[in-house]
């Protein structure tokens, strides 16, 4: 890498290929879309400072150090972890590499999740991280992004295989993509670990594909063939069915949940049945957008934000009346 953080010999493609933020769900009416966009921007700007303060128990924070504190707490509670760096899209490659290197060097157990777009799908940079992980006996895993960059992500993983054993590498397969069945075959043939998710990015070839059905189809393709499968869903029934199928085939597996998402029944069931539970701990400059996403789906966090907002409003009104 050059002194300016650019990858030597690497020609960048369209910038949208490097975006790691989840897509917005499409709305049918354009007027409704515009209204929702304006409303979301207004509300987000108003509550971001509050979310950042009250969401600490639910997200990994801004830095590797903060994420490690969360990981250590979870380890003490009997959970495995993976640290996932959420970039904002404004960091330099040098900074991104520095963050990943620090996570690899400092994480005591668990594994580090990578975002291939943040690395510009660079075989050179990914290889450097693979070498650092190999020295520590650390596992690396690639998160899933838009379907248009799936081939580039797979190519990056293949380049990493030349620097680190396949058993220390992993890929993520969304159930909502048709191609995930083919990618499941590829992952099994390469001896990679696999995380199965419902998926945030749609498949343009089959946008209405039922996610749960697709999820189970991918599980079925991996059962009896994959090295290890992480069932990454908070859908209790889907997770239980997936684990049962994998166990019946003798495939190593675990449940993986996102930090901050309600999953007590699933976690309780997993512990009662001897299934390991891992928590994905997101951190970094993309932490606040992630906190807002968790807020939408976590009533406890939403209540905490509302309570904090009401308290601040009360203090403001009280101050006005005193003067």
Could you identify the residue written with the tokens 């009250």?
54
- Please give the pLDDT value at position 289: 60
Is 17 within a domain? no
Looking at residues 253-279, what average pLDDT do you find? 94
Q: What is the pLDDT of residues 34-69, one digit of tens each?
A: 444 444 444 444 545 555 565 565 567 889 999 999
Strand partners, 114: 142
Looking at residues 234-245, what average pLDDT do you find? 97
Is 319 within a domain? no
- Please give the pLDDT value at position 285: 77
Q: What is the pLDDT of residues 65-122, one digit of tens each?
A: 999 999 999 999 999 999 999 998 889 999 999 999 999 999 999 999 999 999 999 9
- Please give the pLDDT value at position 311: 59
Q: What's the domain count of the chain?
A: 1
- Kindly tell me the number of DSSP H helices and DSSP E strands found in the chain: 11, 8
Is 320 within a domain? no
Residue 207, SS3? Answer: coil
Both structure tokens of 182: 């083919």
pLDDT band at 12 (very low <50, low <70, confident <90, very high): very low
Which domain does 73 fall in, by range? 59-297
Is 241 within a domain? yes
Q: Give the separation between CA 11 and CA 33, rounded to whole angstroms.
A: 35
Is 141 within a domain? yes
Is 6 within a domain? no
The average confidence (pLDDT) of the chain is 82
| Cβ atoms 266, 68 nearer than 8 A | no
| Cβ atoms 100, 131 nearer than 8 A | no
Is 45 within a domain? no
- Please give the pLDDT value at position 262: 80
| Cβ atoms 259, 281 nearer than 8 A | yes
CATH code for the domain in which residue 101 is found: 3.20.20.220
Q: What is the pLDDT of residues 138-173, one digit of tens each?
A: 999 999 999 999 999 999 999 999 999 999 999 999
Write the DSSP assignment of 76-106 as a string of letters.
HTT-EEEEEE---S-S-HHHHHHHHHHHHHH
Q: What pairing do the DSSP bridges indicate for beta strands 277-283 and 111-114?
A: unpaired
Q: Give the separation between CA 169 and CA 48, rounded to whole angstroms.
A: 35
Long-range Cβ contact pairs of 132-138 (< 8 A, separation 24 or more):
132/101, 132/104, 132/105, 133/104, 133/164, 133/168, 134/163, 134/164, 134/165, 134/168, 136/104, 136/105, 137/168, 138/104, 138/107, 138/111, 138/112, 138/168
CA-to-CA separations, 114 to 121, 153, 181, 228, 322, in angstroms, rounded: 11, 10, 22, 18, 52
pLDDT at position 323 over 70:
no
| Cβ atoms 280, 113 nearer than 8 A | yes
Is 116 within a domain? yes
CA-to-CA separations, 286 to 19, 77, 117, 271, 290, in angstroms, rounded: 11, 26, 14, 31, 6
């Amino acid at each position: 890498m050059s002194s300016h953080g650019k990858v030597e010999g690497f020609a960048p493609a369209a910038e949208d290929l490097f975006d790691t933020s989840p897509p917005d769900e499409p709305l049918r009416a354009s007027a409704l879309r515009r209204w929702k966009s304006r409303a979301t921007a207004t509300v987000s700007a108003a509550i971001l400072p509050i979310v950042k303060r009250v969401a600490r128990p639910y997200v990994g924070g801004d830095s590797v150090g903060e994420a490690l504190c969360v990981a250590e707490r979870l380890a003490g509670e009997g959970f495995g972890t993976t640290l996932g760096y959420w970039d904002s899209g404004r960091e330099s490659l040098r900074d991104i590499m520095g963050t990943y290197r620090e996570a690899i060097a400092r994480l005591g157990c668990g594994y580090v999740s990578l975002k291939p777009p943040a690395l510009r799908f660079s075989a050179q940079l990914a290889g450097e991280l693979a070498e650092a992980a190999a020295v520590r006996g650390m596992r690396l895993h690639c998160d899933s992004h838009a379907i248009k960059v799936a081939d580039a992500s797979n190519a990056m993983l293949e380049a990493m295989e030349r620097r680190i054993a396949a058993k220390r590498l992993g890929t993520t397969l969304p159930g909502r993509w048709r191609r995930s069945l083919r990618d499941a075959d590829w992952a099994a043939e390469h001896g990679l670990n696999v995380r199965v998710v419902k998926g945030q990015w749609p498949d343009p070839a089959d946008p209405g594909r039922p996610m749960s059905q697709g999820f189970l189809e991918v599980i079925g393709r991996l059962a009896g063939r994959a090295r290890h499968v992480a069932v990454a869903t908070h859908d209790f029934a889907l997770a239980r069915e997936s684990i049962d199928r994998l166990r019946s085939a003798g495939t190593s597996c675990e449940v993986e949940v996102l930090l901050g998402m309600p999953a007590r029944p699933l976690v309780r069931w997993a512990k009662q049945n001897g299934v390991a539970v891992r928590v994905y701990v997101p951190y970094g400059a993309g932490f606040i957008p992630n906190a807002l996403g968790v807020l939408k789906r976590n009533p406890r966090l939403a209540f905490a934000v509302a309570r904090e907002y009401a308290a601040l409003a009360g203090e403001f009104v009280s101050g006005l009346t005193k003067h």
